[in-house]
Amino acid sequence: MKKGRKWLILLVVLALFASLATACGGDGKEEVKATGVGNGKHGDIKVEVTFKDGDIKNIEVLNHKENEELADPVFSQMKDNIIASNNVDDVDVVSGSSATSKGYKEAVQDAVKKSGVKLNAKTKEAIKTEKEEPKQTYDVVVVGSGGAGFSAAIEAAQAGKKAVILEKMPAVGGNTLISGAEMNAPNNWVQKNLGITGDSADLMYEDTLKGGDNKGQPEMVRILADQALPSAEWLRDEIKVEFLEDELFQFGGHSKKRALIPKGHTGEELIKKFKLKAADLDIPIKTNMKAEKILTDDSGKVTGIEATDINGDTITFNANNGVVLATGGFGSNVEMRKKYNSEMDERYMTTDAAGTTGDGIVMAEAIGGALTNMENIQTYPVCDPETGVISLVADSRFNGAILVNQEGNRFVEELERRDVISKAILAQPGGYTYQLWNGDIEKISNTTKVHKDEYEQLKKEKMLVKADTLEEAAKFFDVDPKALKQTVDKVNQYAKDGKDPDFDHRAGLVDMSKGPYYMMKAVPSVHHTMGGLVINEQAQVMNTDNQPIENLYAAGELTGVIHGTNRLGGNAISDIITFGRIAGQEVSK
């Protein structure tokens, strides 16, 4: 016994010595490292935290699956704040990236707990960014860093102008970043690869006007349709955006398959490449910089922007040539939604980025800008019922997935316009739908693999099930298995006949007799605001007397003249790039 205990003591001493050796830095002070895990938006975030003498010295992210652009300010700004204040619990989340912030915080808290380190209390305030010059002068001041803002700033810089981008959020990208970013372009090169013929700008013009119930301005829709292909080629050749070469989308309301798909099936590809191009052209991007007011001289000519930075200081951006507003829509501003359309109230969540609160519209209106189509607010039919976030896994709808209600019945043509499908869903018991598809459809659409993180998240939330049989899928959601089978039997028959007498599915239904089955619950969510500023063909903002406001331009979702009552899928990117470029070229003249 005695001998055994002696050995034990010796072992403990040796282990202690060894651990001290690894914990000591070269200067002899104790350095401790610990890892921690937190649950982010798309799964685990794992960090390694380094401590020295009770202080947090460094935080390294070991792995994560978050959106890189949205995670960027969390992994830098929040990290700096935690280290500066030596405090994890009270550090603010980064707005617009709250789920990632929460996961990051959890991970660091976990590491602190595991390390056993008692953190020194510090009175030091969380660090703030460097002071901005209170008065700055550029040729072109672009407000908003989505696709429209980047396009405008890049065109301006290429025209030899000194341009700056102001972005109120900590991360760039807006709705463009988090969208699927498919882009309609008639007669595009992928159509040629796939042998799709008969498309034309005329056809896209007609589809777009009709899709918006002829409430878009024909001359503006003409520009959209004519420029969609050159805009796509510009993205491909100038910005180096990679598009899939062998796949296209056909969104509802389009008579041809004409939507190009960016690599990764999201706007991350666009924003990543835009950032690189902006860096190449030395365009400063000022994040956490909120434009508050458009400045004008006595004659009403626009002279710049007054903004507020992260410290709460007022910064004036003078614009020699002019200002381009590209602040996006107002989907995330419930009060503004209700002001223009009382139906779009709190019952609806939104798919939109947190920064899309209509600021540009309000700022331009304050200096006499005219508004149009403001009541037209689009809901996206299939979104996560827990968060309102758009479901990209549900893109299997474009390859034949069907929509059924709680009774297991189809109730709408699955490729109808978004507003029609959304209204039809809200009219079903409970105001939700189930989207159903099988392994054969999945093989083509591949959405559970391409959007794997979303797929896993939906399964975790019990909003999606993969089942070997229809019966199992039906039971998971308490749908009558017999009714669901009857519906699918009918679909199989219609697929065979090449005719859907119930809802006239425009692409033709697909046989779903074989499992496995994917079934997911979904609700409509506010997705796009069609209304906004009136602009002319040069992207100048018009006043209420239908005269251009001198030196003020606008492009993107904050304009209201293109989409009428309803924006067709894939038309937003064509719009923001086309008119963003026009605004950038025109303001530089």
Catalytic residues: 418
Distance of CA 147 to the CA centre of its chain: 11
Q: Cis (ω within 30 of 0) for the bond into 516? A: yes
Q: Which of residues 259-298 bind ligand ADP (CB under 6 A)?
A: 290-291
Task: Note whether 571 binds ligand ADP by CB under 6 A.
Answer: no
Euclidean distance between CA atoms 166 and 315, whole angstroms: 11
Among 148, 181, 522, 587, binds ligand ADP (CB under 6 A): 148
- 144 belongs to the binding site for ligand ADP (CB under 6 A): yes
Is 181 an interacting residue with respect to ligand ADP (CB under 6 A)?
no
Q: Two tokens at 137?
A: 């002068």
Report the C-alpha gap between 38 and 74 in whole angstroms: 13
Report if residue 327 touches ligand ADP, rule: CB under 6 A: yes
Which stretch in 20-28, 63-71, 171-179, 233-241 sits in contact with ligand ADP by CB under 6 A? 171-179
Closer CB to ligand ADP, residue 492 or residue 536?
Answer: 536
Cβ proximity to ligand ADP: between 143 and 393 the closer is: 143
- 531 lies in the binding site for ligand ADP (CB under 6 A): no
Amino acid at residue number 439: G
Q: Which of 45, 117, 143, 509 binds ligand ADP (CB under 6 A)?
A: 143
Note the Cα 365 to chain centre separation in Å: 26
Question: In the complex with ligand ADP, which residue's Cβ is closer, 38 or 212?
Answer: 212
Q: Which stretch binds ligand ADP (CB under 6 A): 198-206, 321-329, 476-484, 521-529?
A: 321-329
Q: Minimum distance between the CB of residue 485 and ligand ADP, rounded to whole angstroms? A: 43
Residue 146, judged by CB atoms within 10 A of its CB (0-12, 13-18, 19+), counts as: buried
Question: Per CB under 6 A, does 519 bind ligand ADP?
Answer: no
We find the least distance from the C-beta atom of residue 178 to ligand ADP, in angstroms, to be: 9
Residue 353 as a binder of ligand ADP (CB under 6 A): the answer is yes
Pair of tokens at residue 223: 């520009």
Query: Which residue in the set 333, 351, 356, 551 belongs to the binding site for ligand ADP (CB under 6 A)?
Result: 356
47-106 positions binding ligand ADP, by CB under 6 A? none
Choice between 328 and 408, CB closer to ligand ADP: 328
DSSP string, 22-72: HHB-TTS-BEEEEEEEEEETTEEEEEEEEEETTEEEEEEEEE--S-HHHHH
Least Cα distance to 490 among 500, 504, 481 occurs for 500
Residue 165's closest CA among 146, 139, 132, 142? Answer: 142
Q: Which is nearer to ligand ADP, 152 or 542 (CB)?
A: 152
Listed in sequence order, the residues at least 6 apart from 199 whose beta carbon sits closer than 8 Å to its beta carbon are 186, 187, 191, 256, 258
Q: How many chain residues interact with ligand ADP (CB under 6 A)? A: 27
Stretch of 35-43, 349-357, 501-509, 528-536 lying at the interface with ligand ADP (CB under 6 A): 349-357
- Nearest distance from C-beta of residue 338 to ligand ADP, angstroms: 19
**C-beta separation of 542 from 549 below 8 A:** yes
For ligand ADP, which residue of 576, 582, 583, 587 counts as binding (CB under 6 A)? 576
562 binds ligand ADP (CB under 6 A): no
Binding status of residue 557 toward ligand ADP by CB under 6 A: yes
* Residue choice 359, 384, 413, 454 for contact with ligand ADP (CB under 6 A): 359
Nearest-approach distance from CB 558 to ligand ADP, in angstroms: 6
Number of other residues whose CB lies within 10 A of the CB of residue 475: 15
Amino acid at 241: V
Give 113's Cβ-side CA count (13 Å radius): 10
Query: Residue 168 and residue 523: Cα distance in Å, rounded?
Result: 30
Torsion, CA 72, CA 74, CA 77, CA 78, rounded to 10: -160
Written as six digits, the tokens of 164 are: 């700056």
Measure the CA–CA gap between 31 and 316, rounded to whole angstroms.
Answer: 45
Query: Looking at 77, 100, 115, 175, which residue binds ligand ADP (CB under 6 A)?
Result: 175
Distance in angstroms (rounded) separating the CA atoms of residues 103 and 40: 4
The correct pick among 142, 157, 166, 539 for binding ligand ADP (CB under 6 A) is 166
**Between residue 99 and residue 138, which ones bind ligand ADP under the rule CB under 6 A?**
none
**Half-sphere exposure for 243 (CA within 13 Å, toward CB):** 26
Query: What are 369's strand-pairing partners?
Result: 543
Where does this chain bind ligand ADP (CB under 6 A)? 143-149, 166-169, 173-176, 290-291, 326-328, 353, 355-356, 359, 556-557, 576
